[in-house]
């Protein structure tokens, strides 16, 4: 990421690099709120400053710092595609600030800084198969990439989603998944942990879907995001089948405070997740070891 800390909207950033467009909170209006899953809501927003809105550009895998006025600021993944998608965030209520966010209504205001981070390596993976593997809310940081890949379907081979959650109620973006399924060549395999009344899909854990989907290993990249138990089992299965550590990509979650590498709060060894990440290959993640 570039060290430029200016704003595109004010002409202070050079056209190269991934410098953040907003370094001080810009006010956004909450236009719509949707319930996604238990304790998870999606907030659709628009910038009050339309010059900033026109200039705001994201890359799949990046994040923003979101301010709930009077409560605090937190880092959150960006689920919208970089193009032709409504600006939104999906957030689970887990602490003081996110519970304050969940208490808001359409018409209320938030602050937004960013976008920050390196993003997914789309230029490097053209021509490859993409396997998305998500557990629960792990689909949030992958959504942007999925939509972007489908918008550029001709650039990739097979696109496969392996997705699991504790129950059918915990599955994210269910209307989106139904739309994605209509794309030629998009393959979806979904499972829940335990049987439940009315569920006629797969039952079990996400890593068990790898064989069912006949996942290709050669000329493939896997984007994996979910809780540690799921992550470790999925990675183990891919490595057993011969997938390269460099072909497995994930995002690291840390307690980001500044987003621009100044406060060092998100440091893991010599890496700063807010600027060097949050997207890393498994080879990179492995070298960080127990520091994660």
Task: List, for residues 203-238, the tens digit of each pLDDT value.
Answer: 999 999 999 999 999 999 999 999 989 999 999 999
- Residues 56-77 have pLDDT tens digits of 999 999 999 999 999 999 999 9
In the predicted structure, residue 6 carries a pLDDT above the cut 60? no
In the chain the domains, ranked by start, together with CATH numbers, are 8-116 (2.40.30.10), 123-251 (3.40.50.80)
Q: So what's the pLDDT on residue 261?
A: 74
Alpha carbon distance 146, 80 (integer Å): 10
- Residues 8-44 have pLDDT tens digits of 333 333 333 444 467 789 999 999 999 999 999 999 9
CA distances from 283 to 133, 166, 236, 240, 253 (A): 17, 29, 13, 15, 17
Count of helices and strands (H, E) across the chain? 8, 15
- Residues 106-115 have pLDDT tens digits of 999 999 999 9
* Residue whose entry in the numeric block shows the structure tokens 């080879």: 283
In the predicted structure, residue 253 carries a pLDDT above the cut 80? no
Contact 89, 132 (CB under 8 A): no
Average pLDDT over residues 272-289: 85
More confident position, 123 or 162: 162
Q: Which two tokens stand for residue 12?
A: 């202070």
pLDDT bucket at 258, cuts 50 / 70 / 90: confident
- Is 266 known as a binding-site position? yes
Q: So what's the pLDDT on residue 268?
A: 81
pLDDT bucket at 2, cuts 50 / 70 / 90: very low
In the predicted structure, residue 273 carries a pLDDT above the cut 80? yes
Q: So what's the pLDDT on residue 85?
A: 93
Q: So what's the pLDDT on residue 14?
A: 35
Q: So what's the pLDDT on residue 254?
A: 62
- Is 258 known as a binding-site position? yes
Q: So what's the pLDDT on residue 263?
A: 77
- Is 4 known as a binding-site position? no
Q: So what's the pLDDT on residue 24?
A: 86
pTM attached to this predicted model: 0.88
In order, the DSSP letters of 191-246 are: EESS--TT--SEES-GGGHHHHTT---TTEEEEEES-HHHHHHHHHHHHHTT--GG
Helix (H) or strand (E) holding 112: strand 109-116
- Is 13 known as a binding-site position? no
């Amino acid at each position: 990421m570039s060290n430029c800390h200016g704003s595109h909207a004010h002409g202070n950033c050079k056209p190269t690099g991934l410098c953040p467009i907003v370094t001080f909170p810009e006010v956004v209006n909450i236009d719509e709120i949707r319930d996604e899953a238990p304790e998870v809501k999606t907030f659709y927003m628009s910038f009050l400053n339309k010059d900033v809105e026109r200039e705001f550009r994201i890359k799949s895998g990046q994040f923003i710092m979101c301010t709930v006025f009077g409560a605090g600021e937190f880092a959150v993944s960006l689920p919208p595609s970089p193009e032709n998608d409504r600006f939104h965030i999906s957030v689970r209520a887990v602490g003081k600030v996110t519970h304050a966010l969940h208490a808001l209504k359409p018409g209320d205001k938030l602050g937004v800084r960013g976008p920050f981070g390196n993003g997914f390596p789309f230029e490097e993976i053209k021509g490859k198969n993409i396997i998305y593997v998500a557990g629960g809310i792990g689909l949030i940081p992958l959504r942007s990439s999925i939509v972007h890949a489908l918008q550029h379907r001709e650039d990739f081979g097979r696109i496969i989603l392996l997705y699991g959650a504790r129950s059918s109620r915990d599955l994210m973006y269910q209307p989106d998944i139904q739309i994605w399924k209509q794309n030629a060549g998009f393959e979806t395999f979904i499972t829940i942990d335990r049987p439940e009344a009315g569920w006629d899909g797969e039952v079990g854990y996400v890593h068990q879907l790898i064989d069912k989907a006949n996942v290709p290993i050669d000329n493939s990249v896997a984007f994996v995001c979910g809780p540690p138990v799921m992550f470790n089992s999925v990675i183990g299965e891919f490595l057993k089948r011969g997938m390269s550590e460099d072909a497995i990509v994930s995002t690291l979650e840390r307690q980001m405070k500044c987003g621009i590498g100044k406060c060092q709060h998100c440091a893991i060894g010599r890496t700063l997740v807010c600027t060097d990440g949050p997207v890393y290959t498994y080879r990179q993640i492995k070298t960080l070891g127990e520091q994660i």
